[in-house]
């Protein structure tokens, strides 16, 4: 729009002309927004609010009289408040590059003054302290010209050819070199140990590899040997199984043959022996029965013969009484008793003869046991009668 002006974000718009609203300032300051400017009656200028840089290289003499070449960099800008913008605009609006030159000169003077009150050791070891003191001393002057300092960096300090800083740093350098040598030695030792460890591991790996190869080779050899022996072993196992089967078959055949022999030979032989034993026993029993029958027959024949001879024996006994003097006391009964006694005497004789004959049979002791019989008693009585006279017959 015609007559409407807007400053950039890092600029301040300065409007001059007119007197209303200035408040004693030579121009009106506009930042951050636009403003309608009447053409021909108002004039517009722009002041940069961006960051600027100034480099200072100065030779300064320390408290010890040692000249030091100091190089510093200052970062500054115009302040954001209206007062700072007005101050900077009045001084640098026509030539804004002069801000860096003037700032460098201001800081160079303060830098010489502060370094002159410090020793080299303080300057070298306390650079931040040096920068802070320079900022503090220059803040007021910078504010007067509308500038503010954001930072001050001491980039380098050099004593030239005097060698003071080098001499001052010599013990530290020696210590550092010593530490460096120690570190180097330790690093070398660590490297050697690492190499030795690596060599040991390589040797161990090589040994393990050799062992694994040997084991693998041995396993391959065993597998090949087993493979080579598999056929003969299988054949031997098959033959062994055949032999075992044949042995089992032979054992079964032998057991069967044994059972057959038992059935065909032993059992018939035992049966035959039992039959012979039974026949022998039967024959012995038969012979015993025959012998007993024969003996029984002989006794029957003897008894029959004795019975046949009994009348003659009784007759002979009665004949013996013919000349005897017998007194009969009880008449007919007494005669009957005498007759009965004669018969009884004959039977007693018969029994005695039978027993005597029986004692001479096989199985006896062959001795004759003397037995009193009626015949002997009768003979004794007869003899006694002939001596003593008549006797009674019982």
Letter string b/e over residues 31-70, b meaning 16 or more CB atoms within 10 A of that residue's CB: beeeeebeeeebebebbbbeebebebebebebeeebebeb
Asked if residue 44 lies in contact with residue 5, where contact means CB atoms within 8 angstroms, the answer is yes
Angle (CA) 120-124-125 rounded to 5° is: 115
Report which of 64, 82, 49, 83 is spatially closest to residue 121, judged by C-alpha positions.
Answer: 64
Long-range contacts made by residues 377-385, C-beta under 8 angstroms, separation at least 24? 377/345, 378/317, 378/320, 378/345, 379/320, 382/320, 382/321, 382/324, 385/324, 385/325
* Residue tagged 């022999």 (tokens): 261
Asked if residue 103 lies in contact with residue 147, where contact means CB atoms within 8 angstroms, the answer is yes
* Residue 279 token pair: 């026949």
Per-residue pLDDT of the chain (394 residues; tens, 9 = 90+): 567 788 888 888 887 776 654 556 777 888 878 777 777 777 888 888 888 898 988 888 888 888 888 888 999 988 888 888 888 888 888 888 888 888 889 888 888 888 888 888 888 888 888 888 888 888 888 888 888 888 888 888 888 778 787 787 778 778 888 888 888 888 888 889 888 988 988 898 899 988 988 888 888 888 888 888 777 777 888 888 888 888 888 898 888 888 888 888 778 888 888 888 888 887 888 788 778 777 776 666 766 676 676 666 666 656 655 555 545 445 455 555 665 665 666 667 666 666 665 554 444 444 444 444 444 444 444 444 444 444 343 3
Asked if residue 150 lies in contact with residue 79, where contact means CB atoms within 8 angstroms, the answer is no
* Residue 141 token pair: 């002057």
Angle (CA) 164-104-81 rounded to 5° is: 135
Q: Is the pTM of this model over 0.75?
A: no
């Amino acid at each position: 729009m015609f007559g409407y002006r807007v400053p950039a974000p890092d600029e301040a718009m300065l409007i001059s002309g007119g007197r209303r609203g200035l408040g004693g300032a030579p121009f009106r300051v506009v930042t951050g927004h636009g403003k309608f400017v009447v053409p021909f009656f108002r004039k517009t200028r722009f002041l940069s609010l961006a960051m600027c840089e100034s480099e200072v290289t100065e030779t300064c003499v320390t408290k010890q009289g040692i000249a030091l070449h100091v190089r510093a960099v200052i970062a500054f800008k115009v302040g954001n408040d209206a007062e700072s913008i007005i101050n900077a605009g009045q001084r640098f609006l026509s030539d804004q590059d002069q801000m860096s030159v003037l700032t460098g000169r201001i800081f160079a003077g303060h830098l010489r003054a502060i370094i002159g009150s410090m020793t080299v050791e303080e300057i070298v070891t306390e650079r931040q302290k040096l920068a802070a003191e320079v900022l503090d001393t220059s803040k007021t002057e910078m504010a007067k010209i509308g500038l503010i300092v954001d930072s001050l960096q001491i980039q380098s300090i050099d004593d030239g050819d005097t060698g003071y800083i080098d001499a001052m740093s010599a013990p530290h350098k020696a210590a550092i070199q010593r530490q460096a040598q120690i570190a180097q030695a330790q690093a070398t030792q660590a490297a050697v140990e690492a190499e030795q460890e690596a060599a040991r591991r390589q040797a161990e790996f090589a040994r393990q590899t050799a062992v694994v190869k040997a084991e693998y080779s041995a396993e391959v050899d065993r597998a090949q040997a087993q493979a080579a022996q598999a056929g003969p072993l299988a054949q031997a196992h098959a033959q062994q199984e055949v032999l075992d089967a044949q042995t089992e078959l032979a054992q079964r055949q032998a057991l069967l043959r044994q059972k057959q022999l038992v059935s065909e030979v032993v059992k018939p032989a035992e049966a035959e022996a039992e039959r012979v034993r039974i026949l022998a026993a039967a024959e012995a029993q038969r012979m015993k029965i025959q012998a007993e029958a024969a003996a029984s027959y002989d006794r029957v024949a003897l008894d029959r013969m004795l019975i046949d001879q009994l009348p003659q024996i009784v007759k002979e006994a009665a004949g013996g009484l013919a000349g005897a003097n017998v007194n009969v006391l009880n008449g007919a009964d007494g005669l009957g008793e005498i007759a009965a006694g004669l018969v009884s005497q004959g039977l007693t004789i018969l029994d005695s003869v039978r027993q005597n004959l029986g004692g001479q049979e096989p199985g006896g002791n062959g001795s004759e046991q003397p037995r009193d019989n009626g015949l002997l008693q009768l003979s004794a009585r007869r003899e006694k009668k002939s001596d003593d006279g008549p006797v009674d017959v019982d």
